[in-house]
Amino acid sequence: MRRSTGTVIGAAAVALATLAACAPGTDFGPASNGSPPGHLTYAYFTDGPDEKVTRDLIAEFERRTGATVDLQILPYSELEQQLQGRLAAGHAPDIARLTNLSPFRSDLLNLSANGADIGDQFLDQARETTSGPAGETVAVASDLTMNGPLVNTDLFARAGVALPPKDRPVSWPELLAKAREVQQKSGSPYAIAFDKSGARVAGLYNQFGTNYFGTDGAVQLDPAKAAAATRLFVDLNNDGTMYRDFWVQSGTKYEGADDMFLREDVPVYFSGNWQMGQFDQEARFGWTVLPNPCAERCGGFPGGKFMVALRQTTNPRLAAEFVAFMNSRQAQEKYAEKAHFLPTRKDLLAEGVDYPRRDAEMDVFLDDVRRTDPAAFSSAYSPGMDSTADAVVDELAAAIVGRQSVPETVARMRTSAQEALEASIP
């Protein structure tokens, strides 16, 4: 009996020791995802309307090259973990769509060395982020987003308030005065709304002359300028201009204020161009887009995604060719038109894109891209951006409820940004 128990325990120990061989830091041998020749896998997350056009473009690539591409749609919230798991196991996809390159820097394929000479065709502000240590292209900024105010034109009309001009930005006090007048006269519960997002308020900081991170990659957040922006935001929440609960409740979870805008609870809503498709279908009222208001400077805050090929690919030239094709002028124009994204190619940015729907609104966003300070792009593409943005949401909520003063809030934001940067850089 005792001997049998010993045998069972021994067998269990051997099984555990075998399993423990997969402990952290294990070398999985030479990286190779094992895609057969002429086949690519593309790990993708979708914002909605972009999926169909992505599939159409893939079909076109397959027709042209005879290759096959397996589009693997992943939930955005799990993208980073899933990709890391697959990289660690040696089964990475050939291509991926990412929002943050820094966790994957050492895994990115040198596109220039694999026949895709596409580095200089894209937004200069993203160049540093998409380049490797020797200046080689390791990623392409595949689409661009821009924050900005969307306005309910019906509420403005009902209140008898003239819309601010669409061709030139107004100041913050001017926009606020109009929004409050509409709130008062139309009876809407609030005057403005911001998505609960550190990226959305980053536009406000940029307009007040500072950013989370500067062009040198270091933490910026000028204390005086950041305090002025923070004070305005806190006041807007506490004087009834904004719905205070929205920023205080629900933790650090992202929450869009699109529901409030669609319910006509606010005449002015700070979000971005990715809302175009949704509002075009769902809004039962007239709406348009205005340029971002100006404080010390004008412009908004950018965001966007990158397309990369991963070094584990067994088809590096085909992978580089795919990235080049998907970001060719023709493909990117089609992608931008259908998905209501802004282009990242310099030629398309200069000439503009003719959007079949909401073209005038998309032009407002494009004009704001041109007005936006370059440091905003550095901040948006910083490896510390994501966790800083989460921390900013927390700190602003604490300031709104009066748990901490505005200078304390800014100091804590700076500390969080510094910690985020240190934790994100390998």
Partner 1 sequence: MTTTESPPATSVRPPSARKRGVKPWNQRLAPYLFVLPNMLVFGVFIIYPALNGFNISLYNSNNGRAFTPVGTKNYRRLFTDEEFWQAAGATVIFVVAFVAVCTAASIGLAMLLTKPIRARGFFRAVFFLPVLLSPVVVGLLWSWILERRSGALNAILGAVGLPEPGWLVSGPLALGATVFVGVWAHAGFYTLIMMAGLQAIDSSYYEAAHLDGAGAWHRFRHITWPLLRPTTLVVVILAMIAGFQSFDFIYTLSGGGPLGATTLMVQYIYEHAFQSPIQYGLAAAGSVVLFCTIFALTVLNFLYGRRKESM
14 scored as a contact of partner 1 (CB under 8 A): no
The nearest distance, CB 103 to partner 1, in angstroms, is 4
Distance between CA atoms of 98 and 139, rounded to whole angstroms? 10
CA distance 313 to 64: 21
The partner residues of 302 in beta bridges, in order of sequence, read: 146
Beta strand ranges found along 104-257 (DSSP E):
140-152, 192-194
Query: What part of residues 384-403 is at the interface with partner 1 (CB under 8 A)?
Result: 386-387, 390, 394, 397-398, 401, 403
Closer CB to partner 1, 42 or 247, in the complex: 247
Beta strands in 100-256 (DSSP E): 140-152, 192-194
Pinpoint the alpha helices (H) of 194-238. Answer: 198-207, 223-238
To the nearest whole angstrom, how small is the minimum distance from the Cβ of residue 326 to partner 1? 25
Q: Which is nearer to partner 1, 213 or 322 (CB)?
A: 213
Check if the beta carbon of residue 212 is closer than 8 Å to that of residue 384.
yes
Q: What CA–CA distance (Å, rounded) separates 38 from 24? A: 33
C-alpha to C-alpha distance for 80 and 103, rounded to whole angstroms:
8
Measure the CA–CA gap between 59 and 75, rounded to whole angstroms. 22
**Pairing mode of beta strands 192-194, 268-272:** parallel
* For partner 1, the closer CB: 334 or 412: 412
In angstroms, give the least distance from the CB of 262 to partner 1: 13
Residue with tokens 């005038």, as numbered in its chain: 360
50 forms part of the interface with partner 1 (CB under 8 A): no
Binding flag, residue 1, partner 1 (CB under 8 A): yes
**Is 84 or 288 the residue whose CB approaches partner 1 more closely?**
84
Of residues 107-166, those binding partner 1 (CB under 8 A):
none
424 touches partner 1 (CB under 8 A)? yes
Record the tokens describing residue 270, joined without a space. Answer: 């700070």
Cβ closest to partner 1, residue 164 vs residue 267: 267
Strand residues in 45-89 grouped as ranges (E): 68-73
Interface with partner 1 includes 408 (CB under 8 A)?
Answer: no
Site for partner 1 in 16-45 (CB under 8 A): 16, 19-20, 22-25
Nearer of residues 46 and 424 to partner 1, judged by Cβ: 424
Site for partner 1 in 174-213 (CB under 8 A): 189
Smallest separation (angstroms) from partner 1 to the CB of 299? 26
- DSSP code string of 5-51: HHHHHHHHHHHHHHHHTT-TT----S----PPTTEEEEEE---STHH
| Interface with partner 1, residue 415, by CB under 8 A | no
- Binds partner 1 (CB under 8 A): choice among 8, 59, 218, 350: 8
Q: Judged by CB under 8 A, does residue 84 bind partner 1? A: yes
Determine the Cα–Cα distance for residues 215 and 229; give it in Å rounded to an integer.
Answer: 20
CA distance 100 to 83: 12
Compute the least distance from the CB of residue 123 to partner 1, in Å. Answer: 23
Chain contacts with partner 1 (rule: CB under 8 A): 1, 4, 8, 12, 15-16, 19-20, 22-25, 77-78, 80-81, 84, 87-88, 100, 102-103, 189, 243-245, 248-253, 255, 386-387, 390, 394, 397-398, 401, 403, 420, 423-424, 426
